[in-house]
Chains A and B, each alone.
Chain A
């Protein structure tokens, strides 16, 4: 339990209105986007400035109260669940876009800015911020940086860390530090900036970010390639790239996912296909046309039985809506869904898909694969029910084997969702022990009292 005096001090720092302690509020901040991780905080605070956050963190550090930073609460690894109680520090009221610099293609934003709000604002200036986690309606810049998020557009544009020029961070001891800057090149000392990207809120609170922007592409074109064999779809991914086309997005949906989407919202996807790949090219109109032609040619050569080029934006929107519905289609279909976030080097996608199917068969599991195939990041999932002990245990075994085979194929445990609570038990198994020790030393150095999002990543 948190001390009364700490609550009073918090109220002094941010004002009574910005401190919530009702049982209802605590329950509403006990979860995130995951299914099974729940723990209530003692208090929820809504700071408005870095200075307030600094005061809150100093207080917490002095009183040894855990602090869990939280943005939109959309992460799917348990990252913003206050696992040891204490303070949830919610940034949703720090949501100002402070500056858009068209000459230098940069934006300065507060951490609580929701990605879609930023996207709409930037579009009116002919700009865009390329990282595109598909949770853009809820995810905040702070959470996106803390998870180093990425989405379909990573094939061509890379992930969040490639678009962060500078950060302001409140350290676990309360100091405010400015890292990086506003330039693209910067080799002044150690690259501390990147230490905070994908730190999952364990090393400090991001209070401001300097983002690198791109001009909005003039044209886009979507195409969908249809396959009889999901592994062949996997092969097409690197065939397209190796033949000189880098589409903005390459996404994969397997037969199971296609059929669930069609049940939810009939969009005219090919229900008999073993898999489809969705491609989007963007850039100047002529290039987009040429690249799309090339995609049609290459995918046909490497096993696509049909390739549909969206004739207009409406048709394109339909395909991308289907892709976005994929997640809901999977999670709505079983009481418990174990969905992974493994990522392998692109050349091994077909091998990974074959493995997933093989393992699921061995354990007799309903399963599916969807994901950002273009960057090797797949979300193989198995459907189970945590209340059915025998089935659930089999499902866990299947998932463990899938993860192990991804690592054997030169891949990693998590491509974009982070470790949080959900993937802890695999963390040590798939990491170099020396690296784990180094991480712990860094954590101890920055956060001597272990107050910043404790219980996450390796505990």
Chain B
């Protein structure tokens, strides 16, 4: 008998779907492809067959469960509250278990390599990362796929001259010199580390100005999103354990990346293999806070207390909801409250604010054409607002939004919400 362990874990979730087909309206992938294998209902049905032993992890099946942004729009709008994200991730984990990671990557990379132009750029990028290797040894395979994806004919945001990890101190005391009211750990996340280091420094500055002590454990690792969402639970657990250990002695773990905060919180949901892990991951979840959630709900900063940076004076702003904030963490009111109360800034809600930008982590490496089509819909929403700037709170989304705004020759600049506020 085959060991269907990972599938058994998701059986109860797969049984929730009652095949009503409502998700077709919300699934960004289905909206482009219009075939049943693209929609949550289809993915769930085929996984159910796999659970019963009636569907193998063929290359076609790998493609089907791979073509999911894990954006959770289906979940948010499902009348039966079926958790397709868990089903898809579980199916991927089973596949990795049965076929090894090579199967997933080889199959996916075949597509990348078949596209000579993309492959060329990809190689160049890999080369650009060569000099990184000595420093990040052991870590290079954890570089999130979205950084790898930069090589695919995109408008590549330049990598930071100095990475955040090389700038930060291990401990930051409150700036007023008082005893800290809280001691929190700052989780960098790869995109902030390699592409947006100023964002990290900004968050540290913001917190220490408000009486918080911030530590930056050197032993922290990649959050693991791209790793465990592609089914590599073993490496996922390795990263989870490393991060939990690194942040053992802080009250809260704070990050400015929506994907990282949700990924850290959700170790308990996807990864545990036994009860001990379940408990440990659950305890960790309670400590993790996204920066916006922490600022508003824990530090109790009133949105009206915040002031707008001079350079944004008179600008019209719109907000993009990262999937990992709105649907994974129900964080949607905090950023809007801040944007609406910043004096000098005009806020306009965009149609489809909650629509996935199309990035989907490693999704965009393998399905960049789909990513572009989905992003075009997002861009239409942005255009409709007449906004000067697009604000969000996930560096992953930022990379993709910038890429697609440039591709569409749009004037809008993209910012992290923290970049807008003074001090």
Residues of A within 8 A of B (CB): 20, 22-25, 27-29, 31-35, 44, 46, 72-74, 90, 92-93, 95, 112, 114, 116-117, 135, 137-139, 264, 324-325, 327-328, 331-332
Question: Do residues A328 and B79 form an inter-chain contact, with CB atoms below 8 A?
Answer: yes
Question: Do residues B37 and A327 form an inter-chain contact, with CB atoms below 8 A?
Answer: no
Look across to chain A and name the residue whose beta carbon is closest to the beta carbon of B21: A138
Chain B, residues 72-85, CB within 8 Å of chain A (1/0): the string is: 00000111110000
| Chain A nearest CB, measured from B20 CB (Å) | 6
Question: Do residues B25 and A116 form an inter-chain contact, with CB atoms below 8 A?
Answer: yes
Given known contacts A135-B20, A138-B22, is B79 in contact with A31 (CB within 8 Å)? Answer: no
Question: Do residues B45 and A138 form an inter-chain contact, with CB atoms below 8 A?
Answer: no
| Chain A nearest CB, measured from B170 CB (Å) | 46
CA–CA, A44 and B55, complex, Å = 19
A92 surroundings in chain B (CB, below 8 A): 34-35
Given known contacts A29-B36, A324-B79, is B22 in contact with A24 (CB within 8 Å)? Answer: no
Q: List 18 A-B contacts (CB under 8 A).
A: A23-B58, A24-B37, A24-B46, A24-B58, A24-B60, A24-B61, A27-B46, A27-B49, A28-B46, A72-B21, A95-B34, A114-B24, A114-B25, A137-B24, A137-B26, A138-B20, A327-B18, A328-B18
The listed residue (A93, A112, A324, A332) touching B18 by CB distance below 8 A is: A332
Question: Do residues A138 and B24 form an inter-chain contact, with CB atoms below 8 A?
Answer: yes
| Chain B nearest CB, measured from A381 CB (Å) | 13
| Chain B nearest CB, measured from A40 CB (Å) | 11
CA–CA, A121 and B335, complex, Å = 30
Look across to chain B and name the residue whose beta carbon is closest to the beta carbon of A38: B45
Question: Do residues B19 and A72 form an inter-chain contact, with CB atoms below 8 A?
Answer: no
The listed residue (A28, A139, A331) touching B45 by CB distance below 8 A is: A28
Among A95, A327, A328, chain B packs the most CB atoms within 10 A around the CB of A328
B42 within 8 Å of A (CB atoms): yes
CA–CA, A327 and B80, complex, Å = 9
| Chain B nearest CB, measured from A172 CB (Å) | 24
Q: Which of B1-45 contact A (CB under 8 A)?
A: 16, 18-26, 34-37, 42, 45
B295 within 8 Å of A (CB atoms): no
CA–CA, A24 and B25, complex, Å = 22
CA–CA, A332 and B24, complex, Å = 19
A93 surroundings in chain B (CB, below 8 A): 34
B49 surroundings in chain A (CB, below 8 A): 27
Interface size class of B (residues with CB under 8 A): 20 to 34
Question: Do residues B24 and A28 form an inter-chain contact, with CB atoms below 8 A?
Answer: no
Question: Do residues B80 and A35 form an inter-chain contact, with CB atoms below 8 A?
Answer: no
Look across to chain B and name the residue whose beta carbon is closest to the beta carbon of A88: B36
Given known contacts A33-B21, A138-B21, is B45 in contact with A332 (CB within 8 Å)? Answer: no
B168 within 8 Å of A (CB atoms): no
CA–CA, A135 and B58, complex, Å = 33
Question: Do residues A135 and B21 form an inter-chain contact, with CB atoms below 8 A?
Answer: yes
B64 within 8 Å of A (CB atoms): yes
Question: Do residues B80 and A328 form an inter-chain contact, with CB atoms below 8 A?
Answer: yes
Question: Do residues A73 and B79 form an inter-chain contact, with CB atoms below 8 A?
Answer: no
CA–CA, A35 and B55, complex, Å = 19
| Chain B nearest CB, measured from A247 CB (Å) | 24
CA–CA, A114 and B25, complex, Å = 8
Look across to chain B and name the residue whose beta carbon is closest to the beta carbon of A91: B34
Among B22, B35, B55, B77, chain A packs the most CB atoms within 10 A around the CB of B22
Q: Which of B285-318 contact A (CB under 8 A)?
A: none
CA–CA, A32 and B18, complex, Å = 10
| Chain B nearest CB, measured from A70 CB (Å) | 9
B78 surroundings in chain A (CB, below 8 A): 328
A46 surroundings in chain B (CB, below 8 A): 34-35
Question: Do residues A137 and B45 form an inter-chain contact, with CB atoms below 8 A?
Answer: no
CA–CA, A29 and B41, complex, Å = 11
What are the 9 closest A-B residue pairs judged by CB atoms, nearest first?
A: A138-B21, A328-B79, A137-B25, A28-B36, A137-B22, A92-B34, A74-B21, A28-B42, A328-B80
Question: Do residues A72 and B24 form an inter-chain contact, with CB atoms below 8 A?
Answer: yes
B46 surroundings in chain A (CB, below 8 A): 24, 27-28
Look across to chain B and name the residue whose beta carbon is closest to the beta carbon of A264: B81
A22 surroundings in chain B (CB, below 8 A): 60
Question: Do residues B79 and A327 form an inter-chain contact, with CB atoms below 8 A?
Answer: yes
CA–CA, A28 and B19, complex, Å = 11
B58 surroundings in chain A (CB, below 8 A): 23-24
B42 surroundings in chain A (CB, below 8 A): 28
Known: A23-B58, A331-B18. 20 other contacts (CB 8 A): A24-B60, A25-B60, A27-B55, A28-B36, A28-B37, A31-B45, A33-B21, A35-B18, A44-B35, A72-B24, A92-B35, A112-B34, A114-B25, A137-B22, A137-B25, A137-B26, A137-B77, A138-B21, A327-B79, A332-B80
A73 surroundings in chain B (CB, below 8 A): 21, 36
Look across to chain B and name the residue whose beta carbon is closest to the beta carbon of A22: B60
Question: Do residues B34 and A35 form an inter-chain contact, with CB atoms below 8 A?
Answer: no
Question: Do residues A74 and B45 form an inter-chain contact, with CB atoms below 8 A?
Answer: no
The listed residue (B20, B35, B37, B55) touching A74 by CB distance below 8 A is: B20
Given known contacts A22-B60, A28-B46, A264-B81, is B35 in contact with A135 (CB within 8 Å)? Answer: no
Question: Do residues B19 and A32 form an inter-chain contact, with CB atoms below 8 A?
Answer: yes
A324 surroundings in chain B (CB, below 8 A): 79
Question: Do residues B19 and A31 form an inter-chain contact, with CB atoms below 8 A?
Answer: yes
B55 surroundings in chain A (CB, below 8 A): 24, 27
CA–CA, A331 and B35, complex, Å = 25
Look across to chain B and name the residue whose beta carbon is closest to the beta carbon of A70: B36
| Chain A nearest CB, measured from B125 CB (Å) | 31
CA–CA, A324 and B23, complex, Å = 14
CA–CA, A116 and B25, complex, Å = 8
| Chain A nearest CB, measured from B4 CB (Å) | 18
| Chain A nearest CB, measured from B60 CB (Å) | 5
CA–CA, A139 and B45, complex, Å = 19
| Chain B nearest CB, measured from A422 CB (Å) | 13
Question: Do residues A328 and B64 form an inter-chain contact, with CB atoms below 8 A?
Answer: no
| Chain B nearest CB, measured from A150 CB (Å) | 17
| Chain B nearest CB, measured from A315 CB (Å) | 19
CA–CA, A35 and B19, complex, Å = 8
| Chain B nearest CB, measured from A31 CB (Å) | 6
